[in-house]
Amino acid sequence: MEDKRTIRVTGKGSIRVKPDTTRLTVTLRGTYKDYQETLSRSARDTEALKDVLLSLGFGRDELKTLSFDVDTRYESLQDQGRNFRQVFVGYEYIHNMKLDFPSDNDLLGRTLYALAASELKPEFRLSYTVKDQEAVKNELLGRAVEDALAKAQVLTRAAGVSLRDILNIDYSWGEVAFEVQPLRRSLEADMAAGVMNAKASFDMDIEPDDIRVSDTVTVVWEIA
């Protein structure tokens, strides 16, 4: 049986999306001599952080864990003979979490103030994302297929052949980053400096840029 003649074309879809969700990535960390104490303090600090957010109207379950790790920590010290040696400091926990909420500069200002003023002194980073990411992904794929078809039609027309049935569609299923970070650094140092003000909020006037995402799809057609 004669092999089918085919044409393989890769189409690219691109889209600009206005972010509608604010994301705060919050990190708590602490070091203690005893392993059990480290676990206990990490749980206590996390609950205290949830209490802070609860006072702002967030639910306790809205703070989501991204990663949690406990590891040994050592410091390099120099002895009297000027020799360096590793000294055990304790067990350090690092708890990375995220808090997503509909974009609202007033709520953002009050939340950042509460975090900066908290005795927990968490690290935090601001970014923006899209709530309905599946809808955007579907539109992105549709545009990529349309682009592949348009290219295939140009090529086959120039070659004097015609498209027939689609034999295969290959999509990488790679991760698409639906996130934009207007401030490319942690905020806690800058925010803590402003806690001395009498107000219980920071004035935030942030309008994040659109999120630009793209993806590709490879389509194989039979040609005649």
pLDDT of residue 196: 47
Q: What is the H or E stretch that residue 17 is in?
A: strand 6-17
CATH number of 21-130+181-204: 3.30.70.2970
- Cα–Cα dist 124/133, whole Å: 23
* Terminal C-alpha separation, the chain: 16
Q: Model confidence over 171-192: pLDDT tens digits? A: 876 677 888 887 655 555 555 5
Q: What is the pTM of this model?
A: 0.77
Q: Model confidence over 108-126: pLDDT tens digits? A: 999 999 998 889 989 989 9
Counting every residue written for the chain, the total comes to 224
116: number of Cβ within 10 Å:
20
Q: What is the pLDDT along the chain (224 residues), one digit of tens a residue?
A: 457 899 999 999 999 999 999 999 999 999 999 999 999 999 999 999 999 999 999 999 999 999 999 999 998 887 777 788 888 999 999 999 999 999 999 999 999 999 988 899 899 899 999 999 999 999 999 999 999 999 999 999 999 999 999 999 998 766 778 888 876 555 555 555 555 454 556 667 788 889 999 999 999 999 99
Q: Model confidence over 130-154: pLDDT tens digits? A: 999 999 999 999 999 999 999 999 9
158: exposed, middle or buried (Cβ count in 10 Å: 0-12, 13-18, 19+): exposed
Q: Domain ranges in the chain?
A: 21-130+181-204
